[in-house]
Chains A and B, each alone.
Chain A
Amino acid sequence: EAGVAQSPRYKIIEKRQSVAFWCNPISGHATLYWYQQILGQGPKLLIQFQNNGVVDDSQLPKDRFSAERLKGVDSTLKIQPAKLEDSAVYLCASSIGLPGVQPQHFGDGTRLSIL
C-alpha cells in the first residue's frame, strides 16, 4: 500500500512570500489532516478534513493559512504571507475515516525555512 505522499520535501522562502504544500493521502482514506511540527515538539493539528469538508480548523491561523481538499482526495496547504515563526515541518496524515479515532498515517513532511 502506498503511503501518504507530500511535496515538496524542502522549501526555502523569504518572509512575506507565499508558499504551497501538496498532499496525496492513502487511497481510500476519507480523513486528511495537516499538522505543523516545530523542531523538538510534537505535531500540532492545523486542519482536519472529512472527505472535502472541514471538520476542525480551530488552530489554523486563518489570516495567513488556507487549505483545501476540493475533490475529497488531494489537498493543498498555503501560507500567505509567511512569517519567520512559520519555519517548521508541515506534515500531512490520513486515516480511514470511520467514526471515532483511528490510526493516522503520516507522510514525511515538507520542511519550510523562512529567511
Chain B
Amino acid sequence: GESVGLHLPTLSVQEGDNSIINCAYSNSASDYFIWYKQESGKGPQFIIDIRSNMDKRQGQRVTVLLNKTVKHLSLQIAATQPGDSAVYFCAEGGGANSKLTFGKGITLSVRP
C-alpha cells in the first residue's frame, strides 16, 4: 500500500545543535511534500514545503531535502532551540485534488 513513514519515533538533541528529521515515502506519484510542527494542544503548523521539481528548499533555520531516487525527505533545523520541541509530521500529496497523506510523526526533544 501507499504510506508515508518516519524512521525514528523520537529524536533528542542538544540546544544549539542541528537536527535532522527523516521521512520515507512510498508513493512514486507524489509530487508535493510538506513538513508540519505540532505542539501539545495545538494544530499542525506549516513549516516548509517542496515540490518534486526541486531537491532542496531553504527557509528560516530550516531546510528540506528531497531525494526522489530513494523516496526520502528530510527536515534540517539549524541551531535547534527549546521552542523547536514538538512532534514533526511529513506529508505527501499529488494530483489535482490536493489531498495530503500524513506520516505518524516524530517527537523532537531539545536538551538545554
To the question of whether A and B form a pair in one complex, the answer is: yes
8 A Cβ contacts from B73-112 to A: 89, 91, 93-105
Contact of A101 among B32, B36, B45, B102 (CB under 8 A): B32
Query: Does the CB pair B103–A42 fall under 8 Å?
Result: yes
Digitize A85-104: 1 where CB-to-B-CB distance is under 8 Å, 0 elsewhere.
00000010101000111111
Chain B residues, Cβ within 8 Å of A56: 97, 99
**Interface pair A101/B44, CB less than 8 Å apart:** no
Indicate whether A100 sits within 8 Å of B98 (C-beta atoms), given known contacts A41-B104, A42-B91, A108-B41.
yes
The count of chain B contact residues (Cβ–Cβ below 8 Å) is 27
Q: A48 near B89 (CB under 8 angstroms)?
A: no
Does the CB pair B43–A107 fall under 8 Å? yes
Provide 19 A-B residue pairs closer than 8 Å at the C-beta atoms, listed in order of the A residue: A4-B43, A41-B104, A41-B105, A42-B89, A45-B99, A45-B101, A56-B97, A91-B43, A95-B98, A100-B95, A101-B94, A101-B95, A102-B98, A103-B49, A104-B46, A106-B43, A108-B41, A108-B42, A109-B43
Residues of B within 8 A of A (CB): 4, 31-32, 34, 36, 41-46, 49, 89, 91, 93-105
Additional A-B contacts beyond A101-B93, A109-B43 (5; CB < 8 A): A40-B105, A45-B99, A48-B99, A91-B43, A106-B44
